[in-house]
Structure 1
Amino acid sequence: MTAGRKKGSALFAGYRGLGLYSNHLPHVLRYHKRHQEFYLVTVVGKCFHTYNVKKLGIVAVSNALPEDITCLAADRMLVFTAHGNTVNAFARNKEIVHTYLGHKADVHLLQPFGDHLISVDSDNVLIVWDTQSEEEYTQISFDKTLFVVSAITHPSTYLNKILVGSRQGSLQLWNIKRSKLLYTFTSWGSAVTVLQQAPAVDVIAVGLASGQIIIHNIKYDETLMKFQQDWGPITSISYRTDGHPIMAAGSPLGHIGIWDLEDKKLVVQMRDSHSTAIAGVTFIHGEPLLVTNGSDNAIRIWIFDAPGGVGRLLKSRMGHNAPSTKIKYYGQNGQNILSAGQDGTLQSFSTTHDRFNKSLGHGSFNKKKSKKKSVQYDTMKLPPITTFAAEASRESDWDGIIACHRGYLVSTTWNYQKSSMGAHKLEPERFHKDRALNVHATAVDITSCGNFVVIAVSSGHIDVYNLQSGSHRGQYGTDKAHEGPVRGVAVDGLNQITVSTGADKFVKFWKFKSKELVHTIPLNFSPSSLLLHRESGMFAVAFDDFTVIIIDTETRRIVRKYSGHSGKINDMTFSPDGRWLITSSMDCTVRTWDLPSGSLIDCFLLDSAAVSITMSPTGNFLATSHVDELGIYLWSNCTLFNLISLPPLPSDYEPSVVMLPGACPVEDTDVIEVDAEVEATEYESPEQLENELITLSLLPDSRWKNLLNLDIIKKRNKPKEPPKTATSAPFFIPTVPGLVPRFAEAPVENLEEQSRVVNLGVLAQKSGFYVQLEDGFRSNNYTPAFRILKGMGPSSIDIELRNLAPEGGGSLIVMQSFLQMIVSILESKVDFDLAIAYLALFLKLHLKLISEEPELMKEATKVMEKLEETWTDVQTMFNQSLCLLTYLKSALL
């Protein structure tokens, strides 16, 4: 089937998630003594993120747990988390170093306590753990009918003691070392939700479910002051420690109350600080900074530097607080992803750093009136965006984004540079008289020039608008473009053709300028969406029967058809080169189809279906958004950094589940190992594919291309002055000239044996190439000789070929052997370019001698015949290929 191939995805590997910052659990603030910096820890599903407070940049992401984290705590060294009935301790903000097992029910409270950790489960059992040994120090069980633990804290300076709050409203002070109840505080008539130590010793702030805050002295059991918030239960409490007697309290409505403890009054109401409940508020020690997080997937830092005690937003990290409906890469650098969420906002997420993220805001009918109202009470809000199109070519001149809203006819423009809604709300005038019609925009597209926008509506109309002025520029069709809702519309890269498809089971081609219908393709099933790849002119149409077809805009024919999904196709995207089509479906699979081969080459299964997918313009990432997931997940394209073989997958291929990036177990349990018997063998290209083809060498051009012009090059490079010898030359080891450096043998110094008689045998010494040519003439094996010549440089080759002639110390037999060597190389059809280059130099040097010797002429004739024969075969194959291409092109047209 797919021998040697890893289950899951061979093309894409999980990289990381974007737009995930916080959930409903309170954050934890830690101080690093060596760095002298505060760090913020927030929970995101099965892992937690660590940010530096100074720049609010992420510094670490923990390894993921098998289940969602239910509570979070931290001390100076470790971060503690709980999932189910298991408690873990993380070191270095990433890896688990301790695991505490002993609870029978889910853990919902954690409290670090010196060298110990206190945990409380839903069965009302409190266990004290030794942090390092992971052993249980003591255990306390509470009676559920009398005391259900809901909050816990360690009062400052109280040795071995903890204060426990209950849903019944009472407090208990326990000595952990002796497991003894020391004191019980009477109830205030409401469940305790928060216990927070005040800067003053013995003083504890008690937050109640009734919205009341009790400042209580536990030493004397005396209430110092009371405050009442009308926004529901108190979710968190924090004190300023920079010299101002200020207390902040969070609420389930997203409001924060700022209380003055000296004047005992409410100073500021920070309304709508978060769009959902406030999970945690913490003042940074010694600074006028308040850190807040909420279940709206946002982290915010407020600074209190304005008169009146009002906090202003200093830094924030914010994502969608509802799943995305549509994502799309913006621009051509592949660094920004536009995302429309069910929360009604349009946001941009950067793949490089979170500081480049920005929110374009929430759609509104009247932005000026919306700004005067609170976010929660804004009646002018538009519903969530269902689909949008973006073009960055004219973003600095006018709006470059057009969006459709759920159930609304009006399409809105957005400006990326200004990070806000645009100047126009585009609505066809034909519906102004009767606004009660149930008509809404279904599809949009922007031309590549950024000047025009095409909007399709559910009534079957398709209109064209000028994006700069918002003026109507015509419609397609005399009355309607389609008899039924339009499911997709796209404009080609040159503004020549507009393609549309609708529920009437037709794909129509229109002239963009004249709005004239050019061609119609009938379909067998009702289409659900359309996607055009402008560079290749191919577009994909997805159907309600879960199949996909590919149509060529030039030939206007269906060229590919793919089937394999078992659920509704949610989204499609092309690779930048147009070679792959990637589809996502409600069957939770993401499939990659290869257009040239027409086959499925990759498929992987996810826990939640991908609602929208988009491929980076640079091809390095695939981005996905999923059902019930707030984040956008990036998948690396493995073909960019690894050699991957992608054979077609069989029709009965069953993919394995791949975890989302950042949600994999600590150990790679999601990777299914391949059988040890089947080993993946990497493909090695043979030296020659077929004997009918000629094969060129892999040598660089400088080794053979300039052989004929070597004398000209030497003359041009000849130095004007002779080289000067250094007065005191440094020591060096002499080497033998050549491509491969070799050390010369040291000369034997024997003055007595030196003679003035010249040894002619040394001058007449034969080279290795010369000897191999002589051997090849006898054995008819010229491979060693050609290998030596192939390893030489241009100058050495020139000298060797010159010395083959009798006047250079050679012979006619060796020259005859050289021509036979060329014939053998031509017969093998390997290193064709080298054989031609060596033959050309040989003929240039010895052409006159060859013409005078009959034996050399005979061998030269054989070379010419073999050369003509080889070239004739190659030319025949070229003609056959050109003929086949011409036939296919004419058949398609």
Structure 2
Amino acid sequence: MSFPSKIFVGYRALGFVTNHIPLVTRYHKRHRDNYVVTSVGQSFHVYNVSKLGIVAVSDSHPEDISVLAADFRFVFTACGNKVFAVSRNKKIEKEYKGHTADVAFLLPFSYHLISVDVDGFLFVWNIISQEQYLQIKFDPQAFMITAICHPHTYVNKIFLGSQQGKLQLWNIKSNKLVYSFSGWGSSVTAIEQSTAIDVMAIGLADGQIILHNLALDKTVIKFKQDYGPVTCVAFRSDGHPVMVTGSTSGHISLWDLENRKLHSYMKEAHCSSITGLSCLPSEPLMVTSAADNSLKVWIFDLADGGARLLRLREGHSAPPTSVQFYGSDGHNILSAGHDSTLRSFSTVHDKHNKSLGRASYHKKASKRAGLKHDKHKMPPIVKFAAESSRESDWDNILATHRSLTLTTTWSYQKCTMGKHKFCHERFKNDVAEHSITATTVDISSCGNFGLIGYSSGHIDTYNLQSGLHRGSLGEPKAHDCTVRGLSIDGLNQKVVSAGADGILKFWRFKSKQLLGEVKMTAFVAQTVLHRDSSMLAVALDDFSISIVDIDTRQVVRHFIGHTAVISDMTFRADGRWLISAGMDCTIRTWNLPTGSLVDAFALREAATSVSMSPCGNFLASTHVGDVGVYLWSNRTLYSHVSLTPLSADYEPQLTELPTTVASDSDIQDNQASAAEDGQDDEEYKSSEQIADELVTLSLLPTSRWLNLLHLDIIKMRNKPKEPPKVPKAAPFFLPTVAGLEPKFDITKEDESQLKAESHINKPELGALSELAQLLSKADKNKSYSGVLAYLKEMGPSKIDSEIRLLSAEEGGSTEVMGYFLKFIEAILQSNKDFELAHAYLALFLKVHGEELSGKSDLSSSLEKLSSTQFQSWQRIEALLQKSLGLVAYLRSATV
């Protein structure tokens, strides 16, 4: 199978904490810590309660997880009609097959697992052997199971609640109905064991909480909450008689069991229905989760016995609207969501995630009003601009809001909404509400000025430090239509504004003077400027993209390929790629130097925003109806990718969004697809294969061959001023011979003879040197690999002495010198060890040059060697010149 995208591979998803699946808590005896398991789609996260830090992410499941349960050994998950057992919080170890409908409930029961599906089938599994122990069929029309629990001390028994309001106690060993309870006329939504034996807490859909004694079939206490059905029930086990219940409205109630009354309630603990609630054993802590993508830890340490928020981990509760990398290191991503919040997600670790708060007209009043009934909440952020250059001095983020003329500032360093709200005096007298809105913003590279474009055609400049108005573009306004694009160049010299009528206007930033106009072929939808290259990408309403050089004010590229509205665009850091996302559910990559489409892939949900990392390693994207921020890895950074242009009728292949962690199957698919993609490119070639077309080097240290021609100069420079003193050697030490490999000198000679002889002893008459002998054998066998290996093992001084010994005066012969020339010719013809061959040849000609000129026997060998050397160098020189010319062209194309 071929991978849908040549460039981008799904890396992981950010911003997921939990979903509507109830959480599960576990206690680790060895770590002495409690852990929380939450579902995030096809995987689950494990957090430690002590720091609420993520400690594990499970492998990806085949479908979205629908049920979670856990015991001291496994985490049990259900996906559709399949049940899995996950070991070590990561690996799917066991699978239980047998259900034909979606599994709704799971309950670990000692060495057994109980599962219930929506068709009314209850299965009891042996966890280890994965065999069915029991199967019970319930009629959904008479008894549809909605809650399941095991009463403490009730051996082999489970307690079931139904949608019809009835409850039943079953013995799963004997497969018998022990007792049936008539109920209280409302659907059972939750069942929990209380701290008292025989007493169960039963939550109903009408808001009642019943504490019922199973042994006597008698109600002990009745409570009722006034804000919706009971979703979950828990009991404190740290010595306080308190019951905690959650509701669909997001409130949490604390009930005093001793005084039989409501103790207190936590108003709007979550923005949505409480799906998971658990009090930790023997600790004054409570963990809650909800469908608003948040996980909270509460501590009961208030004076009245109430709870306060201790730790929090959350993401967007509504899909993001815009995403942008922040800073130059590519470690942080700013994301604005439909929940009116602005958040920062870290690509390194989730512990660096932070929230910049929720947009509000009056922050103090919003805190008093709460999350759900906040009348001061502002509409969601549509577009924002961020600049990190002056983040420590003043607000450095400027944002526009849906249907608002008002624009807000934010501080990334302080993680809060800024003190300025920009709205010109001309708009305050506007009679029609929301008739004029801020449509686009930009911040100068120095971080001092912010520009705001409006639907009325006005463009205002503000000082971000003081909040003062610093002028407007145009008289009386810049455009006669909605401003859909606004960009400042990197030097604060020019401003480019784009109107909905398709006219680009170029302004002098300081003097507000109009420099010129460019008419586009269609109406403008949005613009993005790459400041380093002065290239402006303009998305048009006919689904095409034009690239405008703001220096020359010319359209230099025009891309056609999208079949729906272009939602967002982003440049690569060097300006060579433009990545565009459209509502046609595709993400396309355009190569600006070649002016062609080089990559495209399709998604199930359209991307609403994209942003490329300043380091070029990740592409971030957000999608319709999804609360996550997805990272795509750039394959060109760690593998060879052929960016050949795609045809005009190319159909992008569908790819799945990345999960919170890559599964083994995904990795194997990526590797297989990369291998198949490589079939279209040139195959990998080893050094032996490359030598047929190019040349290879020996990879030896340069000290072994680079200074062969200058050994005499080096020896003169390093000559000691005083003769070396011979140390007194112990009689039991054997003398050694100097060299790269230590060897013992076993020859016994007198000291007088050693002093009388020269440093380089001449060989005996008629004895050839070792190199000469190897050359003679190699010429007979026509194989010079042994000679080359011998020379590679020697140092520069030894090589110099061996080559000198090839002369007839030093014990060699003319034939041996001819063999050496043939040896060099063979190396050059093999295209291997290119630098060694030339170094050895240069030393040979330097030492024996005069002798070779007087020997006619060696003239033919010298001519062949000269021809071989010229041909090899001519071929390499042509390739080098071609490469230098290509590099010079590419460098000039980007300037």
TM-score (norm 2): 0.85
1:239 aligns with 2:235: yes
Name the counterpart of 1:345. Answer: 341
1:737 aligned to which of 736, 739, 745: 739
Q: CA offset at residue 632 of structure 1?
A: 1.3
Name the residue aligned to 2:471: 474
Between 715-724 and 183-192, report the one with greater CA deviation.
715-724
Range that drifts further, 172-181 or 197-206: 172-181
Larger deviation, residues 343-352 vs 161-170: 161-170
In structure 1, the residue matched to 2:517 is 520
Identify which range, 375-384 or 851-860, moves more after superposition: 851-860
The question of 1:419 aligning with 2:415 is answered yes
Tell me, yes or no, if the aligned pair for 2:503 and 2:518 is still in contact at 8 Å.
yes
The equivalent residue for 1:355 is 351
Q: Give the aligned residue type for 2:217.
A: D
Q: Deviations over 1:369-406 (max 9, x none)?
A: 22232122221211111111111121111111111111
Q: Per-residue deviation at 1:872?
A: 12
2:188 corresponds to 1:192? yes
The 3-state SS of whatever aligns with 1:634 is strand
Change (3 A) 1:750 1:654: farther
Residue pair 2:775, 2:820 contacting (<8 A) in 1 also: no
Structure-2 separation of matches of 1:231 and 1:581:
51
Select 2:502's aligned residue among 501, 505, 521. 505
Between the aligned residues of both structures, percent identity stands at 51
Contact 2:568 2:608 in 1 (8 A): yes
Q: CA, structure 1 residues 481+812, in 2 after alignment: closer, same or farther (shift >3 Å)?
A: farther
The structure 2 residue matched to 1:89, chosen from 69, 79, 85, is 85
Structure 1 partner of 2:608: 611
Tell me, yes or no, if structure 1 residue 176 matches structure 2 residue 172.
Answer: yes
Any idea what SS the aligned residue of 2:180 has?
Answer: strand
Q: Does 1:559 align with 2:556?
A: yes
Partners of 1:883 and 1:660 lie apart in 2 by 41
SS of match in other structure, 1:481: coil
d(CA) in 2 for partners of 1:878, 1:521: 43
- Secondary structure at the residue paired with 1:430? helix
In 2, Cα distance between the equivalents of 1:175 and 1:125?
16
The whole-number CA distance in structure 2 between the counterparts of 1:420 and 1:573 is 26
Counterparts of 1:700 and 1:116 in 2: how far apart (Å)? 66
Letter in 1 for 2:466: S
> Offset of 1:268 from its aligned partner?
2.3
Comparing 639-648 and 585-594, the one that deviates more: 639-648
- For 1:728 and 1:224, how far apart are their aligned partners in 2? 102
1:496 matched residue in structure 2: 493
Shift of 1:554: 4.1
Please show how residues 38-57 of structure 1 align to structure 2 within 5 Å. Answer: 38-57=34-53
Aligned to 1:315: 311
Aligned mates of 1:725, 1:560 — CA distance in 2: 82
Within the candidate set 461, 484, 493, 1:464 is matched to 461
Aligned 8 A contact 2:737 2:745 in 1: no
Question: How far apart, CA to CA, are the structure 2 residues paired with 1:824 and 1:123?
Answer: 81
Equivalent position of 1:387 in the other structure: 383
241, 244, 247: which one aligns with 1:248 = 244
State the partner residue of 1:202: 198
Farther off after superposition, 448-457 or 230-239: 448-457
How many Å apart are 1:448 and its aligned residue? 2.0
Structure 1, 431-440 or 824-833: larger mean CA deviation: 824-833
How far, CA to CA, are the matches of 2:221 and 2:555 in structure 1? Answer: 78
Equivalent in 632, 645, 648 of residue 648 of structure 1 = 645
Q: Cα distance, 1:708 vs. partner? A: 5.5
State how far apart, in whole Å, the 2-side matches of 1:33 and 1:519 are: 73
Q: Is the 8 A contact 2:203 2:230 kept in 1?
A: yes
- State the partner residue of 2:538: 541
- The code of the aligned residue for 1:558 comes to V
CA distance in structure 2 between the partners assigned to 1:512 and 1:709 by the alignment: 63
User: Which of these residues, 18, 27, 44, is aligned with residue 23 of structure 2?
Assistant: 27
The 5 A counterparts of 1:760-771 are 760-761=763-764, 765-766=768-769, 768=771
Q: Tell me how many residue pairs correspond in the alignment.
A: 881
Equivalence for 1:7: 3
Q: Which residue of 1 aligns with 2:753?
A: none
**C-alpha displacement at 1:672, in angstroms?**
11
How big is the shift at 1:200? 1.0
Q: Which moved more, 1:145-154 or 1:545-554?
A: 545-554
Q: Which moved more, 1:721-730 or 1:253-262?
A: 721-730
Q: Which amino acid counterpart does residue 390 of structure 1 have in structure 2?
A: A
The structural deviation recorded for 1:873 is: 12
1:130-186: CA deviation from partner (whole Å, max 9, x where unpaired): 333333333333344443322111110011211111223232222222332222223
Q: Deviations over 1:774-816 (max 9, x none)?
A: 999x999999999987886544555466667787677899999
* Separation in 1, partners of 2:714, 2:101: 86
Q: Secondary structure at the match of 1:470?
A: coil
Distance in 2 separating the partners of 1:856 and 1:666 = 66
CA distance in 1, matches of 2:504, 2:196: 75
Rounded Cα–Cα distance in structure 2 between residues aligned with 1:888 and 1:622: 24
Whether the 8 Å CA contact 2:766–2:811 is kept in 1: the answer is: no
Give the letter aligned to residue 456 of structure 2: S
Is structure 2 residue 162 aligned with structure 1 residue 142? no
Tell me, yes or no, if structure 1 residue 682 matches structure 2 residue 670.
no
- Correspondence 1:573 to 2:570: yes
Q: Distance in 1 between matches of 2:312 and 2:22?
A: 16
1:300 aligns with 2:300: no
3-state DSSP of counterpart to 1:355:
helix
Q: Which residue of 2 aligns with 1:658?
A: 655
Residues 458 and 486, structure 1, Cα contact 8 Å, conserved in 2: yes
Match of 1:447 among 425, 444, 447: 444
Cα distance, 1:301 vs. partner? Answer: 0.6
Runs of at least 5 residues in structure 1 that lack an aligned partner in the other structure: none
Report deviation, 1:409.
Answer: 1.7
Task: Give how far 1:499 is off.
Answer: 2.7
2:261 aligned partner, one-letter code: K
1:444 partner amino acid: V
Report Cα offsets for 1:23-60 as digits up to 9, x if no partner: 11211111223333222111112222222222222222
Q: Is the 8 A contact 1:688 1:830 kept in 2?
A: no
1:610 corresponds to which letter in structure 2?
A
Q: Which of 384, 398, 401 lines up with 2:397 in the alignment?
A: 401
Structure 1 residues 411 and 800: alpha-carbon distance in aligned structure 2, compared to 1, 3 A threshold: farther
Please give the per-residue CA displacement for 1:274-322, whole angstroms capped at 9, x wherever unaligned.
1111111111101101000000001111111221122222212100011
Structure 2 letter corresponding to 1:682: E
- 2-side partners of 1:105 and 1:870: how far apart? 73
| Distance of 1:748 and 1:276 partners within structure 2 | 94
Deviations 1:833-854 (A, max 9, x none): 7788778777877899999999
Output the CA distance in 1 between the equivalents of 2:861 and 2:535: 56
Code of the residue aligned with 2:739 in structure 1: it is P
1:404–1:412 contact (8 Å) kept in structure 2: yes
Distance 1:781 1:373, change over 3 A: same
Q: 1:891 to 1:345 in 2, by over 3 A?
A: closer
Displacement, 1:423?
1.8
Matches within 5 A, 1:849-868: none
**How far apart are residue 729 of structure 1 and its match?**
7.5
CA–CA distance in 2 between the matches of 1:288 and 1:838?
Answer: 82
What one-letter code is carried by the residue in structure 1 that aligns with 2:771? G
Query: What residue is the counterpart of 1:215 in the other structure?
Result: 211
Question: Matches of 1:404 and 1:676 in 2, distance apart?
Answer: 46
| Cross-structure match for 2:220 | 224
Correspondence 1:253-332 to 2 at 5 A? 253-332=249-328
Aligned counterparts, 1:715-726, within 5 A: 715-717=716-718, 722=725, 724=727
Whole-angstrom distance in 2 between the partners of 1:788 and 1:247:
86
AA aligned to 2:85 is A
Task: State the one-letter code of the partner of 1:24.
Answer: H
